[in-house]
Amino acid sequence: MSQLKSWGVLLIAAVLVACGSDKQTEYSAEQEKAIAERIAPAGALAMEGDPIASAPVAAPSNSGPRSGEDIYKKSCFACHATGAAGAPKLGDAGAWADRIAQGMDTLNDHAWNGFKTMPAKGNCFDCSEEEIQAAVQYIVDGSQ
């Protein structure tokens, strides 16, 4: 068995040597810049007290709860406009009839907690319960 492992290691080494190349690929300055932008870190790690950590952070605007339509367009449409993962489409009265018959409490519970393939909050993690309920109402109103 150890002889088999040795052959495997030799085979992998041979493949790596055969595929390798001494030739350096040369890129234009524009290509180098594009590569550097693509592989740049997405952010920076800073500890409390570091200059970057003490920079002021813009406070989110709090203009009140967003409308059901806004939430639908932000998070719900990805599945409920396309039917992805079996989601009933907005405006398809036949697909929504049995669901609507269960009542708004059930629909809101499913939207908030998730149900079958639907993720909790429809993946709108910054949505309040009130906003999720508004989105459910928007969908129901557009599907009757």
**pLDDT over threshold 60, residue 59:** no
Q: What is the mean pLDDT of residues 19-41?
A: 80
The highest-confidence range among 12-21, 56-65, 117-126, by mean pLDDT, is 117-126
In the block, residue with structure tokens 């508004």: 134
Q: Quick one: CA dihedral 42, 43, 44, 47, positive or negative?
A: negative
- CA distance from start to end of the chain: 69
68-141: CATH superfamily? Cytochrome c-like domain (1.10.760.10)
Amino acid 21: pLDDT: 58
**pLDDT over threshold 70, residue 124:** yes
Amino acid 70: pLDDT: 94
Longest CA span, the chain: 71
> Which of residues 12 and 129 earns the better pLDDT score?
129
Is residue 115 classed as helix, strand or coil in its secondary structure? strand
Q: Are 76 and 135 in contact (CB under 8 A)?
A: yes
Give the pTM. 0.58
d(CA 20, CA 31): 22
Supply angle C-alpha 44, 48, 49, rounded to 5. Answer: 105
> Which of residues 80 and 26 earns the better pLDDT score?
80
Amino acid 134: pLDDT: 96
Amino acid 57: pLDDT: 56
**pLDDT over threshold 90, residue 91:** yes
